[in-house]
Amino acid sequence: MRLTLRIDPNENGLLNPMDQIINLILPILIVVLAGYCAARFHILDKGTGNVLCQYLFYFSLPFLTFTNIYRAGLDNLLNGRFILTAILTIFGIILLAYFVFRFLFRSEGQNLIMMIFGSFYVNATYVGVPVASMILSSVVPPLIILMIQASFFFPLTVFLMDVNSGKKSHIHFKDSLLLLVRNPILVATLIAIVLLVFQIRVPQFVLTTTELFGKPAAATGLFALGFTCYLPADQKITKPEIRRALTVTLFKTFLQPLLAWSIGRFVFHLDSWWLTAIVVCAMLPTAVNHFIVSQKYRCSENESKLIILFTTFGFTIMVSLFLYFSAGF
């Protein structure tokens, strides 16, 4: 399969693949590094990371999700075979990750949930949108993934984390619904879908407001990640934590794209463009949401930092190879 990349020309001609890689990846790493330096050199208070994560979870990410889904439009978001490929891929990774972490690593409870969560949940917004725009000339595929994740898999993860938090001895059906309804990202997704289904036009000032809340999400999330990646001298990362994070990285950057390609190619017979789209989306690094959830529940925080960093670097290698070979080198 040979791809024609959409590359915007500059005054010197076309950007070469290496320039594309640098323009895409380097800004992400710089923002993460800025957050790390802010913590390392005590520029900001040590509680800043938690505050930023709370803001992201309850304000910025929900508004960003709403804006992206609403602006994409329902027609662009409905591709049955692509959606089914994505869902089956996620369930496949969930099953594989469950058996590996439950029976090989003996993980359980919230730690098991976080390892599985990190193995399939992709960064569809911060990384997926610019990558898809560059490689596919369209941001629709990552927005479809965003809709799938935000409407089902993310609220399910948060619900399971609540159930396993130990705060409630008995979770009734009513309590379960309340836990889901209180998830701001799920609420934002459902509102956007309802408005699209009933063709309700949102006033421009409302969209401008949601964009204002949503725009800081990328930089804020990456900065908060870097900020909390700084570990004081008395806080050590253990070898088991590193092994678990590396295993998640293997699932995320290699097995998930391979499974997505296999299902899309042999089960649903996607055409070359949609097949490329599902593979590109599957190789995306673990979303910053993983880190936000770890902070919210005070669970697997070290692994979460490592997972996002490792999968981001793993993605850098994967997408670099993808751009290199697809450009004909």
- Residue 20's pLDDT is 66
The C-alpha atoms of residue 226 and residue 289 are separated, in whole angstroms, by: 14
Q: Which CATH architecture has domain 17-324?
A: Up-down Bundle (1.20)
User: Which of 146, 84, 130 is CA-nearest to residue 319?
Assistant: 130
Helices (H), the chain: 17-40, 48-55, 61-72, 74-77, 80-99, 109-120, 128-135, 140-148, 154-163, 173-181, 184-197, 204-214, 217-229, 239-250, 256-262, 272-282, 288-297, 301-326
- Split the chain (329 residues) into runs of 10 and give each run's mean pLDDT: 42 55 76 90 87 86 88 86 97 97 93 96 82 78 89 88 68 54 80 93 95 87 79 79 96 95 96 92 90 87 89 83 65
Residue 4: per-residue pLDDT:
42
The encoded tokens of residue 2 equal 């040979």
pLDDT of residue 184: 83
94, β-bridge pairs: none
Task: Say what the pTM is.
Answer: 0.78
d(CA 225, CA 323): 27
Spatial CA neighbour of 150 closest among 212, 65, 73: 65
Domain ranges of the chain: 17-324
pLDDT on residue 297: 87
